[in-house]
Structure 1
Amino acid sequence: MASTHSGSGVGTRTNIQKAALAVGVVFLLVGVLGFIPGITSNYDTLQFAGPESEAQLLGLFQVSILHNIVHLLFGVAGVAMAKTATGAYNFLLWGGVIYAVLFIYGLIIPHDSAANFVPLDAADNILHLGLAVGMIALALALRDKHRTVRDR
């Protein structure tokens, strides 16, 4: 009798793995979009880092080359860590904590300061808060859903 699974493991992913994979793919997409003129306005002002970069993803979120690279790396981490339920949990939880720290950092550091090296603006701060809450909530809501009856 043929198996209903393709052997790729897709059919056996837990909800937490699916969530981490989806978040990782979104980060990859955002990282790529940050390098596309038109989707990123003021693309000609894109700098490696710092508040001098006036490029804005979707005309709303201030980005730099470093900022886009961070999104790409976060996406790679999410996709890679989604291979296991424990990895997916850690990506969502600790990724959420990192975004909470970025939110606080964005509130403390003046937007025109050299310390604003990522760079971050008010829209980024709101998004980082949403990412922090969302990722941590997913980690906590789905953490026990991957355990089998035997593991409980």
Structure 2
Amino acid sequence: MTTKRFALIYGIVFVIIGLAGFVPGLAIGHSHPDMEMTTGLGLLFGLFPVNILHNLVHLVFGVWGLAAAKSVVGAVTYAKAVAVIYAILAILGLMPVPGLQTTFGLIPLYGHDIWLHILLAAGAAYFGFVRSPADSSRAVPSR
């Protein structure tokens, strides 16, 4: 898979998940004592804590991925940024410091979001830092 295809897939998935967070019934009611922004607070698919801001962040990363998929440079930059940002979000979710697991009450980062953020960061790190950009632009020979 090319880095451009990676950015396209992440973009599509982030848009779908961002939109899913707004669909009634897909996010089961949920509460957390540290959350200040409780609009739309729920567990998406009964697992992942989300709220309206979390859904908007997913949409931003999705649109960014779709735009980045148009060029190798854009896709590599997107992959690197996703890797770093989602690694930071996973670390914040792991820290038992008041306010960090909820980004000071704004966006939930705890629970199942932690392992998901680790997986997203790992996949992005591969395409952003490990895979050679030359490999990303090379076409697969047809048979």
- TM-score, normalised to structure 2's length? 0.80
Change (3 A) 1:123 1:31: same
Q: CA RMSD in A?
A: 2.4
Unaligned stretches of 5+ residues in structure 1:
1-13
Is 1:70 the counterpart of 2:28? The answer is no
1:20-65 C-alpha deviation (Å, 9 max, x unpaired): 101110000000000111211128x7xxx74756401100000010
Greater Cα radius of gyration, structure 1 or 2: 1
Q: What residue number does 2:141 align with?
A: none
Unaligned stretches of 5+ residues in structure 2:
139-143
Identity, % of aligned positions: 37
Question: In structure 2, what residue type is equivalent to 1:117?
Answer: L
My pick for the range that moved more, 135-144 or 29-38, is 135-144
Indicate if the aligned counterparts of 2:94 and 2:110 stay in contact, CA closer than 8 A: no
Question: In structure 1, what residue type is equivalent to 2:63?
Answer: V
Displacement after TM superposition at 1:141 (Å): 2.0
What is the aligned length?
131
2:20 to 19, 27, 33: 33
Change (3 A) 1:141 1:57: same
- TM-score, normalised to structure 1's length? 0.76
Change (3 A) 1:105 1:51: farther
